Amino acid sequence: MISKNKSDFFENVYQVVKKIPFGKVTTYGAIAKYLGSAKSARVVGWAMNASHLSNDIPAHRVVNRTGLLTGKKHFFGVNLMKQLLESEGLVIKNDQIHDFKLFFWDPNKELE
């Protein structure tokens, strides 16, 4: 259920991120678009930052549109995000996901 109250925006982000399947990744923009605020991708980033406390949020599966691990520095260590993704079968080259499009999971398509 995706609430439309903007006060629940963060909560909506978490709902979507939780649904990202193992070994798949998506972008901040895709989530923002799915929530009806395509131009608010930055806020999605903030939601991730705020989700820092929640443990069921696979924030490492959310990257920017180029597949670059821009948020890795917000993890415990700068290598954690990369290693988490690699453990899911992805290939990271210089903070860039190799064949990003092949692993891209678009909530706008995968979800209704």
Q: Does 28 bind DNA (CB under 7 A)?
A: yes
- Rg over CA atoms, the chain: 13
Calculate the CA dihedral of residues 81, 86, 87, 88 and round it to 10 degrees: 100
Interaction between residue 71 and DNA (CB under 7 A): yes
Of 11-19, 66-74, 82-90, 100-108: span binding DNA (CB under 7 A): 66-74
| Residue 93 binding DNA, by CB under 7 A | no
C-alpha–C-alpha distance, residues 32 and 35, integer Å? 5
| Interface region with DNA, contact rule CB under 7 A, candidates 11-19, 34-42, 82-90, 100-108 | 34-42
In the complex with DNA, the residue whose CB is nearer, 22 or 76, is 76
**In a 10 Å sphere around its CB, with 0-12 CB exposed, 13-18 middle and 19+ buried, how is residue 51 labelled?**
buried
By CB under 7 A, name the binding residues for DNA. 6, 9-10, 27-30, 32, 37, 39-46, 48-52, 59-60, 62, 64-66, 70-75, 81
